[in-house]
Amino acid sequence: MGKRERPVGPHKHKTPNIIGKKNSLNYRHIIHYPEDGQYTTRKLDVTKLGGRHPLTGRKVIEGVGGGSKQKARWIDWHRLPADWPRDGSVLEERVISVSYDPMRDAQICMTGYGTHLRWQVATDKMKAGDILRTHTAIPPNPIRPTEGDSHPLGALPLGSTVCMVEAWPGEGAHFAKGAEEKAKVLRKVGDRVVIKCWDELEFAIPEEAQCVVGTVSIHPLKALPIGSPNRMRWIGDRPRSGLWKRKDGRQGRKIKKPPPTIFTTPKAVYDEGTGSPSHIGHYGRTVVLDCLSEGKRGRIKPYKRCIPDAPRDSIPYKAEYRPGFDGKNPGTAGYTYGIVTKGTFGTGVHS
What pLDDT, on the 0 to 100 scale, is given for residue 275?
A: 59
What pLDDT, on the 0 to 100 scale, is given for residue 240?
A: 76
The secondary structure of residue 3, as a DSSP letter, is P
Residue 222 exposed, middle or buried by CB count within 10 Å (0-12, 13-18, 19+): middle
What pLDDT, on the 0 to 100 scale, is given for residue 340?
A: 47
What pLDDT, on the 0 to 100 scale, is given for residue 304?
A: 55
Beta pairing, strands 150-152 & 210-213 = antiparallel
With beta carbons less than 8 A apart as the criterion, state whether 74 and 40 touch: yes
CA distance 30 to 12: 20
CA distance 206 to 155: 12
Which helix (H) or strand (E) segment is 195 a member of? Answer: strand 192-197
How do the pLDDT tens digits run along the chain, 351 residues long?
556 777 877 766 665 555 555 556 788 999 999 999 999 999 999 999 998 888 888 888 888 888 999 999 999 999 999 899 988 899 999 999 999 999 999 999 999 999 999 999 999 999 999 999 999 999 999 999 999 999 999 999 999 999 999 999 999 999 999 999 999 999 999 999 999 998 889 999 999 999 999 999 999 999 999 888 889 999 999 887 777 766 666 666 666 777 888 899 888 887 776 655 555 555 444 444 444 444 445 555 555 554 445 555 655 555 444 444 444 444 454 545 444 455 554 454 444
